[in-house]
Each structure stands twice: as structure tokens, then as C-alpha cells.
Structure 1
Amino acid sequence: MDESRYSHASAHGLVPWHGTTIIGVRKNGKTVVAGDGQVSMGNTVMKPNARKVRRLGAKDENGNGKVIAGFAGATADAFTLFERLENKLEQYSGQLLRAAVELAKDWRTDKYLRNLEALMIVADAESLLVLTGNGDVLEPEAGIAAIGSGGNYALSAARALDPYEQDAEKIARRAMEVAAEVCVFTNDRITLETI
């Protein structure tokens, strides 16, 4: 990859994410975030079973975090963002929207965080959001969002299924299967979390 072109694209928010697909689906009171397990370095699969979707925040009655987060991008950067989001959730009493807005502000303005290269989908029982390093907190139209190299494939599949399928989990699983069939940087080892 031409490093100067990559740096230019990165500086303008056009980072070419390779190596993952994350999808979030909200439907009929159920929210699902799913991600594949492939970690790629160039054209080589480095790991086939990574967990790119995690639970965060205060625990529910089953001991699970009340927030689900999935990331596309550099792993170390994603873990930094997970940690920061967890701190914001604690600071704002588990209010995901407020925590996400505050994280996005920090991500855009903080000299260190500004260099982190990742995108995130975060969700709780009320919200499904996409967070970017440009300071964006986006609530997707029709309750479906996808990020990563296979994100557009998964998004298209989920939108096509949406009028015909009532179960958010079935939509997310099939959309991930489609992305894995089409995107060489996405595999079929899916991690799925539901709220």
C-alpha cells in the first residue's frame, strides 16, 4: 500500500478499513451486534477467531454488560476506545448516548486519541450508534448499521432482509454470512451479542 496515499486518506477520514465486518440491527425491541473473527495483515489471515464484539458497562441481572460494542480497525486502538467508553459509561451512570457523545468529543479533540484508527458500533436497549474519529455519533436509519471492509455487503443484505424477517438476530446472522461470502477480509466465525 502506498503509505503517502494512506496517510492522506486517513487525514481526511477516508481510512480504507480492511479486515472486519461489524453489523448492528435493532428490531422489535431487540438489539444485536455481530462481528466476524478474521484478523488480516495484508493478504495473510493472522487469526481466524478474534472477538471484535464485547459487552461493556454496568452488569445486568445475568452478569452481562448492558452495552455492546463492536470495532473495525486497529486492535490496540479499539481496546483504547473500549476502555475510554467504559470510563465514560461509568462517569455518566450508564447513559450510552451521553457517554458516546463525550467519547466522540474526546476522540476528535484529544491529540493522542485523534490518531486512533477505528470505527465503533455501540448499542444498549434503547440506542444503536456508530462512532467515528471525526467526532460523529450517528444513529442509523431503520435501525441497521454496518462498518468495516465487508460493512456495505452486510448492510445491503440486512436491508434486503428487513421487510421479510422480524428477528434481528436472524437478520444479523444472514447479513454476516453474505459479507463472509463476498469480502475476502471477513470470515464466517461470528460473535453475536444481543440485548
Structure 2
Amino acid sequence: MFKGTTIVAVRRDNKVSIAGDGQVTFGENTILKHGAKKIRRLYNDEVLIGFAGSVADALTLSEMFEEKLEQYGGNLKRAAVELAQEWRKDKVLKKLEALLIAADKNVTLVISGNGEVIEPDNDVIAIGSGGNFAMSAALALRYNTNLSVEEIARKSLEIASQICVYTNDHITVESL
């Protein structure tokens, strides 16, 4: 588990939202930034990504993923698999400490440095230090309320920020 951020993705009614908190933590006990943006739009605004982990590693990963999306014409699954394979095989990249959630209108994926590309069973997935808290809250809200995906994503991070010291309530939400 990586400390320093929480990212959650929620899918419902042909919409998907990814939300992330803004906290950047240095070491175990210093907050360097409250309002970092860890959600990005890629490939002509057709793909959303959110990243957790080391900031430099996450930025490197997101740039590589953007290149793969361009290379494979926006095919999210193909780009994710190719990125994971390259990430796993490269000795330098293998040391990256980051996770990525990527989503388009049809699919949500988690991509890791272990070469894993996981499509979650549920319409909700979360990563980062507060990921389990945000995912639990989002699942409860997703299946027991009529809230929009944006509202679910935001509220689940608000809940996580009340529990996880590495998650704050400066939340960015992007939707497709």
C-alpha cells in the first residue's frame, strides 16, 4: 500500500467518475501540499487516470501510459497491457512505486508495476493509502443510494479523509 493519496473510481448508468484527494506527504509525518491534482484526462479527453504512490513515479507512469494510448489509438485495454508488460520487464521502471486507475466509457482498470492489469468485478475500485476506506464507502453509496457517480466519488473520499491520515478533503473529480 502506498501512502500519500487516495483515488477512487465509480461507474453507474454509462458514466464513470474518478476522484482523488490533494495531499502530498513527505515521509511519515509532513504534509507538503494540500491541493495536488492526481486525476488527468488523456487521449482527447476520452480516458481518465488517477495515480497513487510516489509523485515522480506516478507522473512517469502516466506519461508512459499516455504514449501507449496514442500508440494503440485510444484502446484502453491494449495500452494498459502493453504498459504493464514494459513496466514489469524494465529494470529501472520495475522500481517505480505507483499504481494507476484508468477508465474510459466502457471499462475501468487498475495497472500495477507487478505487470497486473485488473478489471474490477464491481463498479467501484480504489487505490492508495485510504483506498480501502474510500472503496467501502463508495460501494455502500453505489448500491444503496441514487447519488450520481460524481457525488459518490466525492463523498467516499470525504469519508476516507476522516479516517486515513494520508488522505485529505481537497478533492478533484473528473467524469466521462
TM-score normalised according to structure 1 size: 0.87
SS in 1 for 2:143: coil
Give structure 2 stretches of 5+ with no counterpart: none
Does residue 70 of structure 2 align to residue 84 of structure 1? no
Does residue 89 of structure 2 align to residue 109 of structure 1? yes
1:6 corresponds in structure 2 to none
What are the residue-to-residue correspondences of 1:24-35 with 2, within 5 Å?
A: 24-35=9-20
Name the larger-Rg structure: 1
Cα distance between partner residues in 2 of 1:87 and 1:97: 14
Does residue 169 of structure 2 align to residue 183 of structure 1? no
Does residue 152 of structure 2 align to residue 174 of structure 1? no
Cα distance between partner residues in 2 of 1:138 and 1:168: 21
Cα distance between partner residues in 1 of 2:99 and 2:143: 27
Q: Name whichever of 161-170 and 38-47 sits farther off.
A: 161-170
Q: How many residues align?
A: 174
Amino acid at match of 2:167: T
Give the CA deviation at 1:165.
Answer: 2.4
Q: Deviations over 1:23-50 (max 9, x none)?
A: 0011110000000000011211100000
Amino acid at match of 1:38: Q
SS in 1 for 2:67: helix
Give the CA deviation at 1:91.
Answer: 0.6
Cα distance between partner residues in 2 of 1:43 and 1:93: 42
Cα distance between partner residues in 2 of 1:184 and 1:125: 32
Amino acid at match of 2:17: V
Give structure 1 stretches of 5+ with no counterpart: 1-15, 60-64
Q: 1:53 aligns with which of 27, 39, 54?
A: 39
1:69 corresponds in structure 2 to 49
Cα distance between partner residues in 2 of 1:120 and 1:128: 11
Does residue 101 of structure 2 align to residue 121 of structure 1? yes
Cα distance between partner residues in 1 of 2:134 and 2:78: 28
Give the CA deviation at 1:169.
Answer: 1.2
What are the residue-to-residue correspondences of 1:146-157 with 2, within 5 Å?
A: 146-157=126-137
Give the CA deviation at 1:164.
Answer: 2.0
- The structure 1 segments of at least 4 consecutive aligned residues displaced by more than 2 Å after TM superposition are none
TM-score normalised according to structure 2 size: 0.96
Q: Deviations over 1:94-126 (max 9, x none)?
A: 101100010011111111111111001001111
SS in 1 for 2:135: helix
Q: Deviations over 1:55-74 (max 9, x none)?
A: 111x2xxxxx2111111101
Amino acid at match of 2:42: L
Aligned CA-pair RMSD: 0.9
